[in-house]
Amino acid sequence: MKKITITFLLFVLTIAGTRACDICGCGVGSYYLGILPDFSKRFVGLRYQYKTLQSHLGPNGTTSYLTTAETYQTAELWGGWNIGKRFRVLGFVPMNFNSKSNQGIVQRQSGLGDIAVIGFYNLLDKQQTVLNSKLLVQSLWVGAGIKGPTGRYEQAAKQAGGESPNNYQLGTGSTDFTFNVMYDVRLMDAGINANLSYKLNTANSYDYQYGNKFTANVLAYYKFRLANKLVLAPDAGVMYETAAKDLDAGMRMDISGGHTLMGTVGAEVTLGKISIGGNFQPVMNQSLAEMRVKAGNRMMVHATVLF
């Protein structure tokens, strides 16, 4: 147990020290996990995510006639499958709906995003009694995944000279890889859930490479067992994202990369084999694309069937 805990902490410190955008979660290539539905074998569901940002900001984030309001909406089919007691596979099939507005002119694009699959291995699954027979449950999953170039990438949408973040895309056009850690500890009905993710991006066919990205979120939750098979679990926590600069033909794009710190408040409701939930993520601190981009608050809702 001590060895696993030390290894986990070293993993956190190693990745967190790496300067890891698709502008930190907006636009292409964001796979937020949060608290997964409490399933024993399989689940499948729909998630809806809503994100906004302002681009073309002036020095110190000032607005001008160039400032553009961008909105990124995703309707995503997602699912999970536990294979035995040690293996787990998660899949994501997103449909993206993007829009941007400048001086009353609105542009829209929609279509299939980048499909991703992540496989996990269970390193720790332990239950024990502590503190006068109270049940302590711990689980630790480590995983790796791949994201395919299934979403459309338009070279013409990228502005020359890096004057705008290359974020307004349905996909990255590249095959990318993720490395994940999920840890959950619960004492009776009160728990803490932590997720770490590192996304390693490759260059697409146009020799454009989005910056690698590190995401960490920690949530505290409590399970209220209200009736037979009815569980309400409110949660609250923080999420941190940091991303490296993009590369265009090996040249660093200044209007890219950065970091965001966001709060998270939400709830999960499970009734038998049906789970619904959502969260709201207000921005607490940010520094994106040399302060030429400002991210807005986010939200996510889902409806999931457990079977």
Q: What is the predicted pLDDT for the residue at 35?
A: 83
Residue 87: both structure tokens together: 């293996």
For the chain, domain boundaries: 2-306
* pLDDT at 48 > cutoff 80: yes
Percent of the chain with pLDDT over 70: 87
Would you put residue 40 in left (φ > 0), alpha (ψ -120 to 50) or beta?
A: alpha
Q: What is the mean pLDDT of the chain?
A: 88
Rounded CA-CA distance 266/302 in Å is: 11
Nearest Cα to Cα of residue 246 among 166, 156, 153 = 166
> DSSP letters along 160-171, please?
GGG-S-TT--S-
Domain 2-306 sits in CATH at 2.40.160.40
pLDDT digits (tens, 9 = 90+) for 257-281: 999 999 999 999 999 999 999 999 9
Q: What is the predicted pLDDT for the residue at 58?
A: 83
pLDDT digits (tens, 9 = 90+) for 172-214: 999 999 999 999 999 999 999 999 999 999 999 999 999 999 9
Whats the size of the chain, residue-wise?
A: 307
Average pLDDT over residues 74-87: 95
Percent of the chain with pLDDT over 90: 71
Rounded CA-CA distance 114/149 in Å is: 6
Q: Around Cβ 70, how many Cβ atoms within 10 Å?
A: 25
Burial of 256 per CB tally in 10 Å (0-12, 13-18, 19+): buried
Q: Is 61 helix (H, G, I), strand (E, B) or coil?
A: helix
* pLDDT at 3 > cutoff 60: no
Rounded CA-CA distance 85/83 in Å is: 6
* pLDDT at 28 > cutoff 70: no
Rounded CA-CA distance 276/252 in Å is: 42
